[in-house]
Amino acid sequence: MRLDPSDLSPRERYALLTGTVVPRPIGWISTVSDQGTPNLAPFSYFMVASADPPTVAFSGGTRADGPKDTVRHALRSGAFVANLVDRASLDAMNATSVDAPTGVDEFSHAGVEPAPSERIAPPRVASAPVAFECEVSAHLELGANTVVFGTVVVAHLRDGIRGADGRIDVRALDPVARLAGTAYATLGEIVERARPSWNDRARR
């Protein structure tokens, strides 16, 4: 089968991309409105964009009246928290995906406990295994979406996730990933492969 994206409807393109580019990490993004109301919503268009400077990014769509609340709040305040989602938080995260009207506090709606951030105004999710406090460094308008980049200024990690060697124990992190539709994935079999070296290959 060969598909030309220009022949597909926006809904069909969405189904193609989100159904094949899987699993995707979930950025549970918390922001704060101009009025000081917390906002919390999950985004599976989420990634690490750079390690130097430490930067993550999320992409949010639009509503009839403009960008989604999370995008608008992040750009106006200049900050957001990227909370990671573990298995224990799956139901609460899903509850915050509700299409609530502007001004609703999703922390309160979903029964999620907030915790104050150290360097920025938006609160973080107290129970999140990892929470990155981010200052907005750039944004990119990409059709109907806005990609927001944030420099990580503080990282909060639950005890036991980061070892003395600096490595993250992914099993302790217990992340949840987004698939398509109503489907999510948790860690199954973990397969390891050492990265090959071209010089080692040349010496054989």
Distance in angstroms (rounded) separating the CA atoms of residues 12 and 15: 5
Render pLDDT for 6-58 as a digit per residue (tens, 0 to 9). Answer: 999 999 999 999 999 999 999 999 999 999 999 999 999 999 999 999 999 99
Q: Which two tokens stand for residue 20?
A: 């094949």
Distance in angstroms (rounded) separating the CA atoms of residues 56 and 122: 16
Q: Which residue has the higher pLDDT, 88 or 101?
A: 88
% of the chain with per-residue pLDDT over 90: 86
Beta bridge partners of 132: 82, 155
Residue pair 143/150 in contact (Cβ under 8 Å)? The answer is: no
Q: Which pTM was predicted? A: 0.94
Render pLDDT for 45-99 as a digit per residue (tens, 0 to 9). Answer: 999 999 999 999 999 988 777 788 999 999 999 999 999 999 999 999 999 999 8
Residue 116 has pLDDT above 80, yes or no: yes
Q: Give the number of other CB atoms < 10 A from CB of residue 69.
A: 22
Render pLDDT for 130-178 as a digit per residue (tens, 0 to 9). Answer: 999 999 999 999 999 999 999 999 999 999 999 999 999 999 999 999 9
Query: In Å, what is the CA distance from 81 to each residue of 19, 121, 196?
Result: 27, 9, 36
Q: What is the count of structural domains for the chain?
A: 1
* CATH code, domain carrying 53: 2.30.110.10
Length of the chain: 204
pLDDT of residue 73: 97
Distance in angstroms (rounded) separating the CA atoms of residues 27 and 47: 8
pLDDT of residue 43: 97
Residue pair 70/160 in contact (Cβ under 8 Å)? The answer is: no
- To the nearest whole number, what is the mean pLDDT of the chain? 94
Q: Domain containing 137: what range? A: 5-203
